[in-house]
Amino acid sequence: MEKDSRPSWDNPMQFVLACVSYAVGLGNVWRFPYLCQMHGGGGFLIPYLIMLVVEGVPLFYMELAIGQKMRLGSIGAWSAISPYLGGVGIASVVTSIYLCVYYNVIIAWALWYLFHSFQPVLPWAECPANANLTGQLEECELSTPTQYFWYRETLNITSSIEENGSIHRGQALCLILAWTVVYLCIVRGVQSTGKVIPLC
């Protein structure tokens, strides 16, 4: 009775799009081509595709089938199969938490760049002037304007790991905004998530 009251997707397409958005992340866009190139180029795709068919797709389908059949979360589904497999569900949840933190930091950086892009001259297009306005900052001239903006304006890194920096207020606000958007997308479970997924 309690399981039947659990909310479900409005239509199958929302479920498929949710699975695709979960499986295809930023790593597919910028990390996978690099890994292919480092491990043999096109030759890397042969064992990759074999393992995708032999191991990846069956495990993905098994996880979906277990979740749909039992209508439980990751921890509950694996614990229902066997109490000894509860750790697999916990590991899955911990991995998801790490991914959420990682991706939200990247989203915060993207928002930071988006907000800074509404200027006639992009701040990473040229070096800023020095204190007495006689030229450009030496640190920026030794690198590039893009690197200077990334390390000094975006990350605001310290000169060494022993130095503690202060909280970067702009980045903190962007991170709060990123988490707020994520919260608003998932606040009502699959009802709100299903409406947002087609927009992504």
pLDDT digit string, tens, across residues 140-149:
989 999 999 9
pLDDT value at position 175?
Answer: 96
d(CA 53, CA 57): 6
> What confidence score (pLDDT) does residue 86 get?
87
Any known ligand binding at 88?
no
Q: What is residue 197's predicted lDDT score, i.e. its pLDDT?
A: 65
14-46 per-position pLDDT tens digit: 878 877 777 777 677 778 888 888 888 888 888
Whether the predicted pLDDT of 170 surpasses 90: yes
pLDDT at 101: 93
pLDDT for 188 equals 79
Q: Is the pLDDT of residue 194 over 60?
A: yes
